[in-house]
Amino acid sequence: MTVTEFKDLFKNAHPVFLDGAVGTNMMKAGMPGGVCPEKWMADNPLPISKLQHDYMEAGSQIVLAPSFAANRIKLKEYGLEDQVYSINATLARNTRKATDGKCLVAGDITMTGQQLAPLGELDFEDLVDVYKEQAAALIDGGVDLFFIETMMSLQETRAALLAVKETAPDMPALTSMTYNEDGKTLYGTAPAEATVVLQSLGADAIGLNCSTGPEKMVPLIEEMRRYATVPIIAKPNDGIPELINDETVYRLSPEEFSDNMVSLVKAGATIIGGCCGTTPAHIRAMVEKTRDLCTLKPDPVTERVISSERKVQEIEPGKQFLVIGERINPTGKKKLQAELRSGSLDMVKDFARSQEENGAAILDINMGTNGIDEKEMMLRAIDEVTYETDLPLCIDTSYPEVMEAALRRYPGRALINSISGEEERMEKMLPIAKKYGAMFIVLPLSSAGLPKTLEEKHANLERVLAAVKAAGMSENRAVVDVLVATVGADQESAVKCFSTIDYCHSRGLPTVCGLSNISFGLPERAFVNTAFLNMAIAHGLTMAIANPSQKLLMLTALAGDMLLCREGATERYLKTAAEADVTVSTVGSKTSGSVQEKKSDLSPVMEAVVKGDTTHIQELVKKDIANGRDPKEILNTDLIAGIQMVGELYEQKKYFLPQMISGANAMEKGVAVIEPLLKKDSSEQKETVVCATVEGDIHDIGKNLVVLMLKNYGYNVIDLGKDVKAEDIIEAAINSKASVIGLSALMTTTMVHMKEVVKLRNERYPSCRIVIGGACITPSYSDEIGADGYSADAAECVKLVDRLLAEDKQQNNGKALAM
């Protein structure tokens, strides 16, 4: 099936129907726990073939081959990594046979469960290769399209999407992520960010599945629709599961499920189906209830939008003025050049943090200096900056090969700086921009150099925009650089820029400039820059590349927005002015604006933990020790307090998985310095906690984070890994004299094994507490099976363990006094 044929499915403006759940139905059909589901279904085709045939009969137009986790990394957990091709090709062929060619067959792809660098050890390109291997096998098996689903990491979704598009460029690829109750993924990505990034990279539909019932998906679909230019997918669970007589039961009837699906279509979903708990009866009811509904056409508020993993930024003329932070650029910065040559990115990370704090909307990244491998350093900088800041990036390089490598790695939709009217540069850069879906700054110059007249400048601009359209892209991707020259050399420089801004404004094109160029070679440059900025904003300048640490400049920009009555401008101005104690000096002085910088209330060591600064923390700890501080004091008042703040920020949804891991890693490095210096005191040793993902479940991201956090709070943690039998968990707890057992499960089909652990605990080790968590777990389920507590995340788990053990100590002390 081609992408064009896929688009034809939506011509009648009615929903397109997917199938329903596989795992929960296969468990009912006899698939045993603990086996590799994909291998079992390949070897036992009758149950899955019957289910797929029933879905087709119920009205599914697209049925998924059950190749879900049949990638090399997941199959290795079962010793089946050499069977990637045979398992995937077999499942695809069997699905086509079961549906008898009466519906489309989608190759199903999901996450590997491993962390990508720099948080983990898996390289991005290695992950792309893993997905390419699976995609090639599914194509040979005869799939018509791909469904990349139940993804938690935006970067991993990008890897899978790139793999599919590079393996089969004209085959449709649908992507779907799973979101927590707060409306974000485990990594902090909201539906808006996922929509912008994935559709720009070539996803033919975007959406969400699993994790929740249909009613809670409505606001997420509405958020996606704000930016969606492609069809939106909704594949919810059949409500929240309950455990009844040791069986996971989904309570929504087919009728109730289908009623809720009507709301999703009205909210903007155009491709609908069911996830965990749904059956052919649910799909039949859904089809009957929604087949005649009219779907909404894509109607994004703007296509001029870039995004990081965690922040969307619109770039629209006449809206909020934006500053692109210019500081991550070694040009003219000898210290930064020296650091880059030494392989250090400390200043890059510091610049990223400070520019975000000072109000930049976008960060420019330039690694162009001699003595380094610019491509390698650019990739490293992107990895590091992505975890230091939420801001979207502007990739700044003269080399097409560096630009492509950067756009490929960056987990967002970037802005390219820049594409000029030079024929060779257009020829090389436009295909890169198209492949990776980037926006780009247009330099209206030609192979002859800078334009000599306004007419020539505008003609150059129109020539580039014509080339953009010829390459199959909309000019909505373009931001025009108005080419600021110093007024010291050309008195009409500013006036010419204003004319170009006016010209672009009449064409509806956003504009940008290198602000400080206007004052080059002049005294008191800040005043020239500020005056130029004021007038340029009044003419309609959209953004400028500048240094956001210059508060006079930033407040001038905010004041300009306020005076032009732009939405939210007054609030932004008052907030920024209140946070900065700005003193504007008299004209003629050396300093035009000074700022009393707010000093952090945190100690340097604690701040390093909170910011996840693994580079400096050991040096800071050693410095404190050299200055006579007690290592125990550093541990308690800096390191532990720092990780507690990280946990609080995580609870407040200000931090997400990347920041949590970075903070925990920083603390671990700090502890490594002081641990040899601490006097061992058995009375101060914390209790032992045994952690495991229960039998049959091979998901361990959440469990690993809990282990990391508990260790950093001083607990002796024994990590048994994933897919662990109840008997082995209890045996480990008894042998280690553990005070707490922590259990995790992601799948509804495996959560029942938690009850087995509780039962064995009651029989063999009743003094040990049990806490549980996972995507499918609820507080009521914890109460139902007799666990001692439920935690929604790692930070909450630490507090829960602390509380339970404090209660135990209080009870034991009470018993001792009674005796």
Query: What pLDDT is attached to residue 494?
Result: 95
Is 294 known to sit in a ligand binding site? no
Q: Whole-angstrom Cα distance, residue 300 to residue 238?
A: 29
Known binding residue 565? Answer is no
Instruction: Find the mean pLDDT for residues 361-385.
Output: 96
Interstrand relation of 511-514 and 478-481 (parallel, antiparallel or unpaired): parallel
Which pairs from 256-262 meet CB under 8 Å and 24+ separation? Answer: 257/214, 257/282, 257/285, 257/286, 258/282, 258/285, 258/286, 258/288, 258/289, 258/290, 259/289, 260/213, 260/214, 260/215, 260/236, 261/214, 261/234, 261/286, 261/289, 261/290, 262/289, 262/290, 262/293
Sign of the Cα pseudo-torsion (385, 387, 391, 392, in order)? positive
Q: What does the longest C-alpha to C-alpha distance in the chain come to?
A: 98
Q: Is the pLDDT at 816 greater than 90, yes or no?
A: no
Strand partners of residue 717: 689
Kindly give the pairing relationship between strand 594-596 and strand 16-17: unpaired
Query: Is the confidence at residue 588, as pLDDT, over 90?
Result: no
Q: Residues 119-131: what's their mean pLDDT? A: 94
pTM of the model: 0.86
> Is 260:214 a contact under the CB 8 Å cutoff?
yes
Per-residue pLDDT tens digits for 381-393:
999 999 889 999 9
Summary mean pLDDT of the chain: 91
3 CA to centre of own chain: 26
Residue 418, preceding bond cis, omega within 30 degrees? yes
Neighbours of 218 (CB within 10 A): 18
CA gap 238, 261 in Å, rounded: 11
CA distance 365 to 811: 58
Q: How far apart are CA 662 and CA 681, in angstroms?
A: 29
d(CA 471, CA 600): 50
In this structure, the strands spanning 322-325 and 145-151 are unpaired
Q: How many whole angstroms from its chain centre is CA 350?
A: 22
State the Cα–Cα distance between residues 353 and 351, nearest whole angstrom. 6
Query: Which fold, 305-588?
Result: TIM Barrel (3.20.20)
How many Cβ atoms are within 10 Å of 633's Cβ, its own excluded? 11
Same topology for domains 305-588 and 599-679, yes or no? no
Backbone angles phi, psi at 105, to 5 degrees: -110, 125
CB-based contact 107:92 (threshold 8 Å): yes
> Which of the residue ranges 77-86, 503-512, 629-638 would you say has the lowest mean pLDDT?
629-638
pLDDT of residue 680: 53
State yes or no: pLDDT of 685 exceeds 90: no
In this prediction, residues 68-94 reach a mean pLDDT of: 97
Amino acid (1-letter code) at residue 9: L
**Position 11 pLDDT exceeds 90:** yes
Nearest alpha carbon to residue 544 among 191, 752, 536, 141: 536
**Are 584 and 557 spatial neighbours (Cβ–Cβ below 8 Å)?**
no
Domain ranges in the chain are 3-290, 305-588, 599-679, 686-819
Taking alpha carbons only, the member of 608, 685, 596, 117 closest to residue 387 is 117
Would you say 252 and 238 are in contact if contact means Cβ atoms under 8 Å apart? yes
| CA 321 – CA 344 distance, rounded (Å) | 33
Quickly state the pLDDT bin for 596 (edges 50, 70, 90): very low
Distance CA 347, CA 339 (A): 8
Write the pLDDT tens digit of every residue in 307-343: 999 999 999 999 999 999 999 999 999 999 999 999 9
Angle, helices 454-470/493-506, rounded to nearest 10 degrees: 40
The domain made up of 686-819 has a fold known as Rossmann fold (3.40.50)
Token representation of residue 294? 């009219």
Classify domain 3-290 by CATH architecture: Alpha-Beta Barrel (3.20)
What architecture is domain 599-679?
Orthogonal Bundle (1.10)
Question: Do residues 573 and 555 make contact, with C-beta atoms less than 8 angstroms apart?
Answer: yes
Is 210 annotated to bind a ligand? Reply is: yes
Q: What average pLDDT score do residues 341-354 get? A: 94
Angstrom distance (rounded) from CA 631 to CA 613: 19
Q: Is the pLDDT of residue 692 over 90?
A: yes
Q: What is the pLDDT of residue 705?
A: 77
- Measured distance CA(65)–CA(55) in Å, rounded: 12
* Calpha distance 273→261 (Å, rounded): 9
| Cβ-Cβ contacts under 8 Å for 551 (sequence gap 6 or more) | 358, 580, 582, 593, 595
Output the pLDDT for position 583: 40
> With bands split at pLDDT 50, 70 and 90, how would you rate the model's confidence at 243?
low
For 474, what's the count of Cα atoms within 13 Å in the CB-facing half-sphere? 11
pLDDT above 70 covers a percentage of the chain that reads: 94
The residue assigned the tokens 């909020």 is 320
pLDDT of residue 751: 85
> What one-character-per-residue DSSP string does 56-105 give?
HHHT-SEEEES-TT-SHHHHHTTT-GGGHHHHHHHHHHHHHHHHTTSSEE
